[in-house]
Structure 1
């Protein structure tokens, strides 16, 4: 068995996939079941053991029932509450949830939300630190602002989404650059800050395996260490990115397998680093239980 085939692989971010044809009527339970099955099939096809479900709570709860342990939930906190305390404590008490996500950046403008400057998220970070709930932070290029949060809440695990930069296709095309990447590297001085290595291929000028990414990825690993980096695909978003590159251009964005294998199959990472990036970091920081050995095979119904 090849060494990389022994790795347990955790995808630190997927969203719910949507089928091209949806159920008739308003059967949302059936639609959610279909989304879970689509996600599980995609994971099984490329060898992902489990994936953090950054989805609506209905997906997380049903997935937790159908496939216990395969879809740890991440609850998204929108800036609509005056006091996040009760909501944070509710999420932390839910065994289907392992983390929260703060939408501190506006993806549509690639700017920090005015609610962040107004202190709207202060109660979220305070409550999360109090109960030990890790928080992912969607900064969309504004990651420099997370330094103040890391300083105020040293016991809170903060994870910066999308390597700290704005990314296509949700952010405006003109924001697609590495401009904020030095700000992310500067956050490495805070031991409570980690990074979600997600979406980097979108910033590549090359086709798979995106060799031009490595100078910056090596900077990232040198700054944070593999033990503070977790891989994520965000594959439903990357599949919608219209990037027809390479000798056989296909207007279907980047595949799930490409987003995994440009790192997993690379000889630029040691096996020890891969062990952290593809599972060890997420397991430790999110306090995940061991990957199940008795997960059921999918039901075959015709």
Structure 2
């Protein structure tokens, strides 16, 4: 079974927020951790807390092309941004884009016109985009309808907030957006929102509801491992051993095959030594 983690963060500088590990997470360490957990490849999301994280993402993909690909980011309000997007895939490992818009100067982007040029250009270039958090996710239905050939991936099971106890609050329209064939959902961070220990049964109904709505072709397993309190291997077996309602063929899709198809990326064979 091909196992692709649809979201990790690699960084070698900056200061991570308190809910992530505080020391940098380097490519070498991630490769070792993935091997121990039985994970074939991982999709790096260069974090905004390291302003140079795209540079490190490219370095990691160059050194470990069979292990890492990247959903990178850029400042959309810069005049050079459209040209950068047009050349995005020329950078090693870059297979798409990902945005949160949590910085003070970015929070108005979804509604003030700053992002308006991005969606049709990404649709034209067949460049998938992942979106995360309360600033962006509530607009997914509007963008999906307006740009039907633009592939959108919703991060963290549709997260838009947390309950007082740290539980998941999902976007109101999340399940109904499954009617748009260009919307998918990343099942990332599930253990972090659970109210119990492994195998995190408090999250199983949420996963089942998304499975019923989207099917296995538009759901992508992943971890966001640097903020989880469980092991990478537990994140794998939560899906491969603890969901009796998930057929084996659909398990294979969710664990990696569907991501590979959606983002048109398959890990190349390891280089021969």
**Equivalent-residue separation in structure 1 for 2:270 and 2:9 (angstroms):** 25
- How far off is 1:269 after superposition? 1.5
String of CA shifts for 1:16-67, please: whole Å, max 9, x gaps. 1669xxxxxxxxxxx99x8110111111110110111112222222222222
1:281 aligns with: 258
Quick check: 1:94 aligned with 2:91?
Answer: yes
Given candidates 255, 260, 266, the residue that maps to 2:231 is 255
The unaligned stretches of length 5 or more in structure 2 are 14-22, 47-52
After the TM superposition, which segments of 4 or more aligned residues of structure 1 sit over 6 Å from their partners? Answer: none
Partners of 2:9 and 2:44 within 8 A in 1: yes
Quick check: 1:40 aligned with 2:20?
Answer: no
Partners of 1:141 and 1:165 within 8 A in 2: no
Q: Which moved more, 1:82-91 or 1:228-237?
A: 82-91
Change (3 A) 1:46 1:107: farther
Given candidates 165, 183, 187, the residue that maps to 1:197 is 187
**Equivalent-residue separation in structure 2 for 1:85 and 1:36 (angstroms):** 29
- How far off is 1:107 after superposition? 8.2
Change (3 A) 1:52 1:67: same
CA RMSD, Structure 1 to Structure 2 (Å): 2.6
Which secondary structure does the structure 2 equivalent of 1:77 belong to? Answer: coil
The equivalences for 1:89-238 within 5 A come to: 89-104=86-101, 106=102, 113-140=107-134, 143-166=137-160, 174=164, 176-238=166-228
Q: Return the index of the structure with the highest Cα Rg.
A: 1
TM-score, structure 2 normalization: 0.84
Given candidates 64, 67, 79, the residue that maps to 1:67 is 64
- How far off is 1:186 after superposition? 1.6
String of CA shifts for 1:90-130, please: whole Å, max 9, x gaps. 213334211111224x289xxx9222111211112121111
**Equivalent-residue separation in structure 2 for 1:229 and 1:18 (angstroms):** 30
Higher normalized contact order (CA 8 Å, seq sep 6+, divided by chain length): 2
Change (3 A) 1:173 1:213: closer
Which secondary structure does the structure 1 equivalent of 2:117 belong to? Answer: helix
Partners of 1:166 and 1:175 within 8 A in 2: no
Partners of 1:134 and 1:158 within 8 A in 2: yes
Partners of 2:185 and 2:218 within 8 A in 1: yes
- How far off is 1:181 after superposition? 4.5
**Equivalent-residue separation in structure 2 for 1:190 and 1:235 (angstroms):** 29
The unaligned stretches of length 5 or more in structure 1 are 1-6, 20-30, 239-252, 298-302
Number of aligned positions between the proteins:
256
**Equivalent-residue separation in structure 1 for 2:170 and 2:182 (angstroms):** 20
2:49 aligns with: none
Change (3 A) 1:233 1:296: farther
Change (3 A) 1:77 1:140: farther
1:264 aligns with: 240
Change (3 A) 1:166 1:254: farther
TM-score, structure 1 normalization: 0.77
Change (3 A) 1:66 1:142: closer
Which secondary structure does the structure 2 equivalent of 1:52 belong to? Answer: strand
Which secondary structure does the structure 1 equivalent of 2:27 belong to? Answer: helix
Change (3 A) 1:204 1:86: same
Change (3 A) 1:107 1:159: farther
